[in-house]
Amino acid sequence: MGTIDQLVIDVFVGVDMAKQDHYAQAITVDGREVFARPVLNDQAVIERLLDDAAHHGRVALVIDMPSSAAQLLLTIAHARQVPVAYVTGLQMRRAAELYAGAAKTDPRDAWVLADFARRHVDQLAWIALSDELLGKLRILNGRDVDLAEDVNRATNRCRDALTSISPALERAIGDRLAIAGVRALLGRHPTPTALRAAGPTAIRAAVASRSPRSADKTLRAVTAALAAQTVSLPGEDTWGEIITGLVADLDRLHAQRDQLAKQIEKVFLEHPLGQVLVTLCGFGPRTGARTLAEIGDPARFANGSRLAAYAGLAPVDKRSGKSINNAAASRRGNHRLKNAMFLAAFVATQHDPAAKAYYARKRAEGKDHNAAVICVARRRCDLIHAMLTNRTAYDPHRTTNLAPAA
């Protein structure tokens, strides 16, 4: 996490974020309350807030939600060179428990933000306004996440519909709905009765029209499923109509994700840091774009250890009394960044010799699969930080020369 010298901050302004009306609480570094008031999400009102706080010295804003509602505040603060810190949801919940009372109100949350920040300035993550390309990546990544959730939801509904008319058919092709040819088959012949009437030739042709390499395997699976269940269940025709509609939805969603993937790849590879990150095994356009968008400016992290802590990849020591020292996985950090770096590390354990060897070593030490992959992801944080800081492409033969620039 980025750090800032506490001595240069005179007043911390905690802002409980909302779509329309924020609530601000200003506290001096020695704990004196300056003011507390609602703040409309409006340029003039936010500028007046910063002006009033600036009468008491150097200002730092502290927010609990760096979402779309915070963009105007962040932009104005950046223009005025006011540092902005982000307190994560987990930090906020734990901090709130340390204060008297159980009320959940905007004024109390703003107070907790400001007071927690002045007491624990070294634990804050400081937010830098992204450049235009990183801003685009964040927007596109957010849309991709939405579409992925929609795909998962439609897939689950389609599988449930298949189970309602033929559990055997759902077992055969339910996990293959991501294959375009399988969706084409269900779009034309959505029920066991329709599939039997179509026959093997038509079934194979429907799949082959969009996924030729899956045609024979899908035909065998469907044929076996039809043989396993010969009775027709109630409401088959109605379920068939629903399946047809769900398959059409899946086709549309997959097409949107494919188009979006091209946009993400284009923006990602246009960014100088994207051109660096993509040289490291495991970082394709989607994973790389998510990682780069969440890291932002690598200069805000002093080293790879700070980056690992921000991502929640650094292990947490657990010991009490005479118990044996033990390191547990952290539950803190930026989960979006952690997931992206975990996926990249997993791919690297399959294809990169260095990552593969380190993974094998951790497995030999007794760690399970996920723990070993997290170890790989943590180790790569130092490398990623050095690559992005120096804007140097990955070279397995000279990684020792990738020390962060002074």
Determine the 3-state secondary structure of 351 from DSSP: helix
Instruction: Give Cβ neighbours of residue 218 (< 8 Å, ≥ 6 apart).
Output: 173, 176, 179, 181, 182, 185, 203, 204, 207, 211
CATH number given to 6-129: 3.30.420.10
Residue with tokens 């509609």: 245
Any idea of the CA torsion for 354, 359, 365, 366, to the nearest 10 degrees?
-170
Determine the 3-state secondary structure of 307 from DSSP: helix
pLDDT at residue number 131: 65
Segments of the chain with pLDDT less than 70:
1-7, 90, 101-103, 128-131, 316-331, 398-406
pLDDT at residue number 21: 87
pLDDT at residue number 6: 44
pLDDT at residue number 119: 86
Contact yes or no for 377/307 (Cβ under 8 A): no
pLDDT at residue number 327: 60
pLDDT at residue number 323: 55
The total number of residues shown for the chain amounts to 406
Q: Which 8-state DSSP code applies to residue 314?
A: S
Instruction: Give the per-residue SS3 of 109-122.
Output: HHHHHHHHHHHCHH
**Which tokens belong to 151?**
């795909």
pLDDT at residue number 70: 81
CA-to-CA distance for 165 and 229, rounded, in angstroms? 10
- Each residue's pLDDT tens digit, 113-132: 998 888 888 777 777 655 67
